[in-house]
């Protein structure tokens, strides 16, 4: 298996741009984390992926407890930068380890999230002989392994996008399906392996590696209506935390840009910066051109 350890790199186009945008980018991270947490706290979704950091776990646990929420750890992973397509499981706990787990408003959903996510099925807390309900819909737990559909539903991801994830990421092996999202987008122009789209900036995930991101999952297209509703709620919460940074994030997402995947590396040419990040192996180069 070809695999490049997760990394992110970026260089701004100029010193002036860097001076203006780098502080904003740092604030965007904060606003995103705020929105991610508040989406659960305020009941927009049942669960959130919540990682305990070795340097900050005391404050994180305190926050969860004071907010009356529940947290269940799922696994230990080695740290990595940027976006990983998997966890780097470990048994140790040290400064290089974080705890991946689920945050919920009540134990019932925390257990469901936990049980859908554990690799070792013996570690499941409950038995799932019977179907169960999430948001008024009936689900059954995968008896053979991780249940991405249940996890996605608990995270509030729309059904069409969960299905897309299953088909592209799980079955298709597209670990970063930007091109596949572009192909599904209304009005796309395709030439060879290059897709040109004018999508919804709320759903633009082409520059998430550097923090510019208003949605935590892969919509099935860059104009998925269900995903937009999710992103709008997310964005409002971000604005509540830091309006200027959130608006800047939306602005950056709405600029023309070119994303490409070649030889396991993602490269993005954006008006503000150039960046690269780990991708996954494809035999050919894939390109997405984004127009506002």
Residue ranges binding other proteins (CB under 8 A): 1-5, 7-15, 18, 22, 29, 49, 51, 53, 74-75, 77, 79-87, 98, 100, 117-119, 145-146, 148, 151, 165, 169-170, 173, 175-176, 208-211, 213, 216-218, 262-265, 267, 274, 276-278, 280-281, 283, 285
Residue 192 CA from chain centroid, whole number = 28
Residue 87's contacts (CB-CB under 8 Å, 6 or more residues apart) are: 75, 77, 100
Pick 111 or 285: Cβ nearer other proteins: 285
In the complex with other proteins, the residue whose CB is nearer, 115 or 200, is 115
Residue 41 Cα distances to 30, 44, 59, 243, angstroms: 16, 8, 17, 20
Report the alpha-carbon distance of residue 207 to residue 53 in Å, rounded: 24
Listed residue (183, 241, 187, 184) closest to 214, CA to CA: 241
- C-beta of 44 vs 80, nearer to other proteins: 80
Residue 135 CB-density burial (10 A; 0-12 exposed, 13-18 middle, 19+ buried): exposed
Nearer to other proteins, 45 or 208 (CB): 208
| CB closer to other proteins, 156 vs 216 | 216
Residue 153 has which token pair? 């539903």
CB 205 within 8 A of CB 181: yes
Nearer to other proteins, 75 or 134 (CB): 75
**Least distance from other proteins to the Cβ atom of residue 274, Å:** 6
Q: How far is CA 93 from CA 52, 59, 77, 109, in A?
A: 11, 18, 9, 26
Identify the CA nearest to 264 among candidates 289, 286, 282, 288. Answer: 282
Closer of 16 and 136 to other proteins (Cβ): 16
- Tell the smallest beta-carbon distance from residue 201 to other proteins (Å): 19
Collapsing DSSP to helix, strand or coil, 2 comes out as: coil
CB of 276 to other proteins, least distance (A): 6
CA 269 to chain centre: 21
Task: Tell me how far, at minimum, the Cβ of 152 lies from other proteins, in Å.
Answer: 8
Please report how close the Cβ of residue 163 comes to other proteins at its closest, in angstroms: 13
State the burial class of residue 42 (Cβ atoms within 10 Å of its Cβ: 0-12, 13-18, 19+): exposed
Minimum distance between the CB of residue 265 and other proteins, rounded to whole angstroms? Answer: 5
Query: Which of 193, 198 has the CB closer to other proteins?
Result: 193
Residue 103 Cβ vs other proteins, minimum distance, rounded to whole Å: 13
CB 272 to other proteins: min, Å? 11
């Amino acid at each position: 298996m070809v695999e490049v350890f997760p990394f992110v790199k970026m260089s701004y186009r100029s010193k002036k741009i860097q001076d203006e945008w780098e502080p904003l980018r740092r604030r965007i991270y904060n606003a995103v984390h705020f929105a991610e947490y508040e989406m659960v706290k305020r009941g927009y979704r049942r669960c959130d992926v919540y990682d305990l950091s070795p340097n900050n776990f005391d404050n994180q646990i305190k926050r969860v407890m004071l907010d009356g929420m529940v947290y269940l750890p799922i696994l230990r992973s080695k740290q990595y930068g940027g976006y990983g397509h998997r966890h780097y499981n470990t048994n140790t706990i040290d400064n290089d380890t974080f705890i991946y787990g689920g945050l919920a408003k009540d134990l019932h959903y925390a257990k469901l999230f936990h049980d859908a996510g554990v690799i070792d099925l013996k570690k499941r807390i409950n038995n799932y002989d019977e179907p169960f309900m999430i948001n008024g819909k009936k689900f059954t737990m995968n008896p053979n392994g991780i249940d991405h559909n249940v996890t996605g539903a608990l995270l509030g991801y729309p059904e069409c996008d969960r299905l897309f994830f299953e088909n592209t990421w799980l079955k298709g092996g597209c670990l970063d399906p930007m091109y596949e999202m572009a192909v599904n987008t209304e009005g796309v122009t395709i030439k060879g392996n290059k897709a040109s789209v004018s999508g919804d900036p709320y759903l633009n995930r082409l520059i998430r590696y550097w923090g510019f991101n208003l949605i935590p999952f892969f919509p099935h297209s860059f104009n998925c209506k269900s995903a937009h509703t999710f992103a709008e709620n997310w964005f409002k919460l971000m604005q509540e935390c830091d309006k200027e940074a959130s608006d800047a994030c939306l602005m950056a997402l709405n600029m023309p840009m070119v994303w490409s995947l070649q030889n396991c590396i993602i490269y993005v040419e954006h008006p503000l910066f150039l960046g690269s990040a780990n991708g996954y192996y494809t035999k050919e180069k894939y390109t997405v051109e984004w127009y506002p």
